[in-house]
Structures are given as structure tokens and as C-alpha cells.
Amino acid sequence: MHPIDGLEIADNDIIPLWVRGGFPDSFLAVPSHTAETLRRFWTMLAHHQSGLLNAAEFARALGVDGKTVASYLDLLAGLLQPRQSNLGKRLVRSPRGYVRDSE
């Protein structure tokens, strides 16, 4: 399947086509996360480097529900997969957040 061509859509939809990508599912999807809230969440996560992740604290600061913070964490964890996983590590009850630039 080929992506949507810019000639197939109205002129006012060209920016969303570039931002979301040309495939129908991504182009027609309703965004469930606002970019500004995600940016603020990412910034807060970076400032809490190696601290315990307290979803309720993040939710209060962002003005969203705790489930929303959990979905943000799932989204970022899915997008930012590590190059290597440490399978020898055990699962911990209190996860810590680490944001690191790989460059």
C-alpha cells in the first residue's frame, strides 16, 4: 500500500499529512495526547533523573489523571527502546526514571 499523496487531500490538510505521515491510519487517527502535555511530561521526567517514578505526583503537576501518566510512560517506553536490554535484572516495585542522550 502506498501512502496518501498530497494531491489526494484538501489544501488545508497538507500540514497534518506531513506531521502524521502519509498512511491512512496515522493520518486519520484522532490524537489522544497533546504535544504540549507530552513535552512537559518529558521535561519533568528528565528533571527527576534517577528518582522514583511517582505517577500521582506527575499527574498532579500536569493536571491529568494517573492513568494518563501511565499511558505517557507506556508511549515513551514503546518509542524509546534501548539498544540492549539487561535480562539479568530483576523486576523492581519502585521503578526509577533515566533519560539519557545516546549521542
| pLDDT mean for each 10 residues of the chain (103 residues) | 86 86 81 79 86 87 89 79 62 67 58
Angle ∠(45,58,34) on CA atoms, nearest 5 = 80
Q: What's residue 59's pLDDT?
A: 92
**Beta strand segments in 1-103, E:** none
Cα–Cα distance, 43 to 71 (Å, whole number): 16
